Structure 1
Amino acid sequence: MDEKFDCIIVGAGVAGLAAAMTLARNNMKFLLIEKGEFAGSKNVSGGVLWGSDLAKLVPEYWEEKDGGWERFINHRRLTFLDDQSSFSIDFKSSHFNETPYTGVVVLRSKFDRWLADKVENAIAESDYAMDSFIATNIKVDEVLMEDGKAVGIRTGEEEFHANSVIIAEGVNNLLTRQVGLQDDYVPADHVLTGIKEVIRYDQEQLEDRFQLNGLSGMSNEYIGYATDGVEGGGFLYTNRDTISIGLVLGLKDLREKRKSPHDILNHFKDHPAVRDTIRGGEVVEYSAHVVSSGDKRIMPKELYKDGVLICGEAANLLMNAGKAIQGMDYAMRSGILAAETIVDAKEKDDFTSNTLKNYRKALDESYVMKDMNGFQDAVHMLHSPEMFKDVPNLVCDFGRKFFSIKNEPTKKSRKMLAESVKEHSSYWDLIKLGLKGAKSL
């Protein structure tokens, strides 16, 4: 194929597909390359896609009878665990039922394939219906560079040329390093291991157990006992007729404590509160993958250079500040912004950094970088030992005292709290943590 593309996108995850949809809608000639058999075939993750950008890519997606998403979130829960107890902050509201939904649960192997079909439809309706492609089962070996500018890609013995390249390769930063935008692999202390099981139930049983109505769903994050003393946290999301349950664990801490992710997952599932929640289901899938910790210090030194842009997890755009794990929404927004920058570059006939630097400017002005810049202290605090040990133990101990009714005089709540603080921490440590939390959140 000798024709030059306006853009080649590497990776058909959320970021790459969002970029492809944007390019197709703007009548651009592009090639989207995915190493898997189909979009999503190698993506084992799943979770909640937050925000409303999906509605911009697929208007009224919620009207589809069998869309690529599982359920919309109208029930949020944060649970603290010690070895015997759970203490939850629980919020459910009908305002989450309004469309476009503010969060939908997805299984990426299904969702990415569905979104790729939507991109194919957009290509068919564009001016380049016969010239733009999604090519699967192809591994990109190299981004072609000439005089410091990206001019295409090489796969095996074949070369494909383009005015620009969008790298959306995920957390594996091989191409990002090859083009000179990152010096080395992301260090282990800034990388997390995500492990997940998908457990199947009869759909009616699942909906009764989690108090779901129609396609409503619940997301539950866990702090404390779930990780068996390793940095990280747990999660549970309701799908159509399954749940996704798992952990996100600090890779360095996991290695230093010589613990197995699979053993810790079983430890989490065996907690009394969790065991009661998931009983009776059939495990139908087990998977693991690596994710960024959300520390912006490990982002590539820049996200653009002549002819190339970096988006999604390739740019380490992910954050967990305690309220939600955000990654797919960041990937989608960055893919859209990268593609819009390429559209502008074509109009100006300038694919150098003079134009492509506008991608970084747009990203900095978006909620993605504003949140990553504004909540870095919260990211660091969430990964501190106190947050996955002392705080959950204190909260659960206080809850156990507060909700226990005995045939004896009841202590005042403040005395119960004082006893729990003395046993698991100190007022001084809590004051320091509270000030840090007030500042970071």
Structure 2
Amino acid sequence: MRLGLGWWRPSSARFIGNHGFSIGVDDVQPGESLNQKKKITIDEGAQTLESQISCLLNKLRETAGDDCMSTLHWRNSPLIMSQCGSKGSPINISQMVVCVGQQSVGGRRAPNGFIDRTLPHFPINSKTPAAKGFVANSFYTGLTATEFFFHTMGGREGLVDTAVKTAETGYMSRRLMKGLEDLSVFYDQTVRNASGGIVQFVYGDDGMDPVKMEGKGGRPLNLDQLFMKVMATCPQRGHDTLSPELILQMLNDKLSGQDASSGGCSDKFKEMLRKFFEDRIKMLRSTWRALQLDEDRVGKRDSSIEERVAADISGISAKQLQVFLDTCLSRYHSKIIEAGASIGAIGAQSIGEPGTQMTLKTFHFAGVASMNVTLGVPRIKEIINAVKKISTPIITTELLSEQDELFAAKVKCSIEKVVLGE
């Protein structure tokens, strides 16, 4: 071992003397690929920073708007217009009262256009909110000169989009109308085209006219409102109120009758009626339990004062129940789609008209600016044109374990893209 080291010592000295060991500029010169990777990383970081700043500034305006809406008097005229849906929105009110907010140009903050700055009023390379289009003033307090300029930049983009989207959505509406204009409802409740081909066995899968729907979520009837009307117009004085068993028995007899059976009413509507009366019966029982009464004697004409009071609070007489069920069935039948209805043209209009109201380009930055999701008219055009390569192919799935990030990453890696052609 000692001989080996003694032999390597002069060899190493001779090698270092011949070749030398020094650090020069070439040793720290990056390659072209490294420069490209660095540029991409910095650009992505800058985009992410910009998107996070934009999200924060938008959240500031939303918070100020919420505070504004909570402090306005309930008789405030703009608030009334916004709530009843005649004109305006909470955003318009908050811009007039509190803060106009961030002005965007092309889906991002105002770009630099005057020697590394947005306007000559700001220092070079200034990235402050005021220098990048944030308007802290409201229309009530008045905008400064720079804020007014940024506001006109955002407004110009809206005007151009409005002018361009008219042709886009107009042509889209025309194609929809031409493709669907021959669809109509026949007497057997099927939807057919001009040559008699069946497009849908039952219109909307329930045969109901959507224009005549009343309740929340497109329900055919607002049962609570109708029940209160029947209770007010058909008083129960002089009539015994029904027990829960009799209520359910009358309901089942009515739903199994000729008007409701054999396709007269859908199973979903019958289930909705049963659910409504189950809730009413729960209310009856809770009232009787609170007054410590026997539910079999409640509402009898010869009963005590407490029992009659309980019947007046939540009782239902046979006449009231009969009138309510008859009204429900007659109204339900009046809301069935009529034969000959041009539902194809109505469907085309229901897509085309909201399309003209949309902004042409709507981008939502969810944390990272490079992941912009195309919404609005461009997405509708992709769907109608059956574009093979969509601009933002995104799949949203609901995980069983929402808190496990590793599990989400595994699911993402396990998903394989398979198209219909394969």
Larger-gyration structure (1/2): 2
The reply to whether TM is greater than 0.5 is no
TM-score (norm 2): 0.22
Higher relative contact order (CA 8 A, sep 6+): 1
TM-score (norm 1): 0.22
Higher helix share: 2
